[in-house]
Amino acid sequence: MDAPLNTRRMAVIMARRVLTNRWASEQWEAKGAVLDDTGEAATPGGQLIVTHADGEDYLFRGLTVKLEREEAEGYYLNLTSDAPKFFVLWRMREARATPEHVTVSYNEGTRWADGGEQVDGVPLPLELTPWMADFVDRHYKPEPKKPGRYASNKDRTLPDPG
């Protein structure tokens, strides 16, 4: 069965780095995201893909990014930024950082972070750009600009102070 046109199946790479400090022994972060068109089942605990001298990288399959009309402005803001991002919300599960939600909406990613969630922004996979741009073209309608409070100051004379 084909996925709906407004969804893409993704995989996220999470990196664990060993730290040598007295407050923490390791640090986790999202390292990247890739399209997951393999059809393989989700990997709840992640799949070890690389071991480094200072840690490991794990691949988590089966995440879905979905475009929603009410987030069209957030997609527009992300696409027009200097460095478009793919946002990953993750939580610690059984001593491993596990991605739980993903989005390409700048607004939604910011709301997650403002709400106290652990959110990392990784570079937006280039393959998602045309898909997002098409959605934005069809669904994003910028709010008409309202005149500013002082927009007509040119025509206004100031009272004499004295």
Tokens of 90: 């993750």
Q: From edge to edge, which strands make up the β-sheet containing 55-66?
A: 26-35, 7-18, 55-66, 47-52
Supply the pLDDT for residue 104: 98
Supply the pLDDT for residue 109: 97
Supply the pLDDT for residue 84: 98
Residue ranges of the chain whose pLDDT lies below 70: 1-4, 148-162
Residue 19 CA from chain centroid, whole number: 26
Supply the pLDDT for residue 153: 52
Q: What is the dihedral of CA 92, 94, 97, 101, to 10 degrees?
A: -70
Across 2-14, b (16+ Cβ under 10 Å) vs e yields eeeeeebbbbbbb
Supply the pLDDT for residue 40: 82
pTM to 2 decimal places: 0.84
Which residue ranges make up each domain of the chain?
Answer: 8-141
